[in-house]
Chains A and B, each alone.
Chain A
């Protein structure tokens, strides 16, 4: 660690004659600041301050605004919401219009509840499918010869670098009624009439699994690759058959990778917008679409904000889990 002036505690503050004054200065950070300057570390402050302030202004403040607007009433104006606090009669009366109406509206309307439920279901099913497809793939790559390993990894990462939007779009061409899959099946003679594949739940699952599969495979691979293979030899030596050894040794040890992969798929999938828009049903929207429609089509900013807040609350636990995982990974990388 670099020398950190913040660790230094000024000695003998209490018995100093100017103790109170110094304590006050320290309270407002001036004491520390002068120490920083004295130690030629003022640059360190700047390094922290720039990204900190940027993220605070463009990430935290926006949420506070969303939070605030979610309690406002819609109004025909620009911006289309009523302020929470307003001075009426030339500043004589402060009017607060804090209302929970938007939340009451969302929670009482079946449309919103079913949309939320549908979004969670789609995300959960897709995450599970991702895991079922991704785990064996990650496992196969982690246990393949080192030379083949980097080739496979490259093949997994490559789609990740190409346009997400275009890759989703590719499925439109495959799943259409006169698309490649139907044409192939018809030509082979497996079916007589084209199947309805596009604009179904199935298409949404495919789209999400397809788009997010690398996010599942990479943390799983990172975990599986680190496993000590002598553990399996020890298990075999103690009489466990390969499948049993997998269940008792490999699977439990890979839980952190499974959790990370699932979170990386589940959280963004809940709010997914592009995939259901291109591949999904028209009669059952997902929550991201509802939010967008409330905002753009209905111009109801307060309800859109309330939808965002509810979605965020629903995702709070997984997001915190993910943050904990991320922190642990970085700590592990450090040692």
Chain B
């Protein structure tokens, strides 16, 4: 997708060396991070990586063991959740079951001491925005999952927070509804100009929503970048593996020039030629990561003596829009290749066929081990 333009002059959240321990367990480990005004920042990681704890520290439900959190320049250390300029959309939505939809949305405004008329007006407006204008008098249990999600969103947004925290906002929705809601969320965010911090374990969700993604693992932020940066230029084996699928080859740097490098991998007959420089010690052990869709598969041998391999097709999985091939190289290594199914009646490569693989010199990513 097209990258959003991020105004990096406008820092909104600053997280400085934040650590959170629960007894012996380190949930968040020395995280430093900036989030800019108006962006959608996704914290992406597996369960237990510390992303939710980080979000809860922003909301004020957990206090950092050490480090500082500043929102809009103000240190949040002594600010309780009910005084923060931040609202949160909970994973469970946390709709008050004993209140109607309108009362749920009004709850936050009532705490601000607005007049009843003003509250009713803003609640009405907000419900219209999330297309629930006619549902104000229902109770949460009388709503479908998607409607509940929108009430939760309305309840958090009606307070006009400068920062909205979303904990797995689409996690409870089914697949179809999810895609639709993703775009609705983006529209709403642009319309209201609120900064979003989203926690998710779903990389697809993060890719679609985010202006930037922070990938977390074991309490640490391992990479921050735009979705394209994260996907195309992962900075570590973990990120390359976690986002999408990847073929990883261990090897050794044999030639290191500013404009290109050559790497010899025991599992590949030919050397790997990469058309961009890297910073590594000569003879360093490195890994080469190549995405499955960046590999071309042919019946005839490609030209050139580098960036190529030969193998036999062992498995084919037809996925509709594309097919996944598992090719066993002569070295015994299995390589994953995806080919889009562009034509309907193609002479497709079949099982046990001998094939040649090749890739463009710009495709491999070199990672230090």
Contact = CB atoms under 8 A, between A and B. Distances in A.
B63 interface: yes
Contacts, number: 24
Main secondary structure of the interface of A (DSSP, over half): loop
Contact of B62 (A3, A38, A40): A3
Nearest to B21: A9
Contact of B78 (A1, A11, A38): A38
A5 interface: yes
A13 to B, nearest CB: 12
A278 to B, nearest CB: 46
A9 B78 CA distance: 14
Nearest to A3: B61
Contacts of B81: 3
A11 B63 CA distance: 13
Given A38-B78, A40-B80, A3 B60 contact: yes
Sorting the interface of chain A by its residue count into under 10, 10 to 19, 20 to 34 or 35 or more gives 10 to 19
Contacts of B60: 3
Interface string A57-89: 000000000000000000000000000000000
Contacts of B369: none
A40 B63 CA distance: 14
A9 B61 contact: no
A334 to B, nearest CB: 14
A311 to B, nearest CB: 38
B47 to A, nearest CB: 14
A39 B82 CA distance: 11
A69 B65 CA distance: 48
A122 to B, nearest CB: 46
B74 interface: no
Contacts of B62: 3, 7
A3 B60 CA distance: 8
Interface in A33-47: 38-40
B66 A11 contact: yes
Sorting the interface of chain B by its residue count into under 10, 10 to 19, 20 to 34 or 35 or more gives 10 to 19
A279 B60 CA distance: 62
A8 interface: yes
Nearest to B22: A7
Given A2-B61, A3-B61, A11-B66, A39 B80 contact: yes
Contacts of A8: 63, 65
Contacts of B78: 38-39
A3 B66 CA distance: 15
A7 B65 CA distance: 8
B275 to A, nearest CB: 49
B65 A9 contact: yes
Contact of A5 (B63, B65, B66): B63
B67 to A, nearest CB: 9
A168 to B, nearest CB: 41
A39 B80 CA distance: 7
Nearest to B80: A40
A99 to B, nearest CB: 46
B262 to A, nearest CB: 49
Interface in B16-63: 21-22, 60-63
B16 to A, nearest CB: 13
A3 B64 CA distance: 11
A11 B66 CA distance: 7
A116 B245 CA distance: 71
Contacts of B21: 9
Interface in A1-37: 1-3, 5, 7-9, 11
A1 B78 CA distance: 18
A2 B80 CA distance: 11
A7 B80 CA distance: 15
B84 to A, nearest CB: 12
Nearest to B78: A38
Contacts of A39: 63, 78, 80
Contacts of A2: 61
Nearest to A39: B80
Interface in A224-252: none
A40 B22 CA distance: 22
A219 B309 CA distance: 65
Interface of B: 21-22, 60-63, 65-66, 78, 80-81
Given A5-B63, A11-B65, 4 more contacts: A1-B61, A2-B61, A38-B78, A40-B80
Closest 9 CB pairs of A and B: A8-B63, A11-B66, A40-B80, A3-B61, A38-B78, A9-B65, A3-B63, A39-B80, A3-B62
